[in-house]
Structure 1
């Protein structure tokens, strides 16, 4: 039973990778749909942290992915 559980997790991870790689818009919408209910007001702190972890990075106004790792232009 443990072996089947591990195989199922690996298949799920592979499917998530393929969706993220081949359909990034769909991946973003799914992540938002999963994260929004978790970060609502009145939820426990652990649930809000999980929602923020699931949520996709913000898109910056310049079209960047929003990693906030950009250096200021000189």
Structure 2
């Protein structure tokens, strides 16, 4: 195989993978979250190299925090002062 043909196949493959990632992110966010979590858990196993664990923490999806008992309006602080 010619070297330029190999580069062409690599660039096309990379473009296809990138477009697939964009489609999954836009159309199936739940699937993307599960895939990121599974990959992060695999990378964060005890005994892995520190670089792989760092990559796993970076890949891990943000936690889906619960709002607690108040309903989650994020307005738990004191009321803002009214201007007179």
Q: Which residue is 2:36 aligned to? A: 31
| C-alpha distance in 2 between matches for 1:53 and 1:34 | 11
Structure 2: gaps of 5 or more residues: 1-5, 68-73, 79-84
Name the SS of the counterpart of 1:60 in structure 2: coil
Q: Which residue is 1:56 aligned to? A: 61
Query: Does structure 1 residue 43 correspond to structure 2 residue 56?
Result: no
Q: TM-score w.r.t. structure 2 length?
A: 0.68
Aligned-pair RMSD on alpha carbons? 1.8
Structure 1: gaps of 5 or more residues: 63-69
Q: Which residue is 2:81 aligned to? A: none
Please tell me whether Structure 1 or Structure 2 has the larger radius of gyration of its CA atoms: 2
| C-alpha distance in 1 between matches for 2:77 and 2:19 | 38
- CA offsets 1:5-60 (integer angstroms, 9 cap, x no match): 11111110110110111011111111111110101111110110111122111122
Aligned length: 66
Runs of 4+ in 1 over 2 A off after TM superposition: none
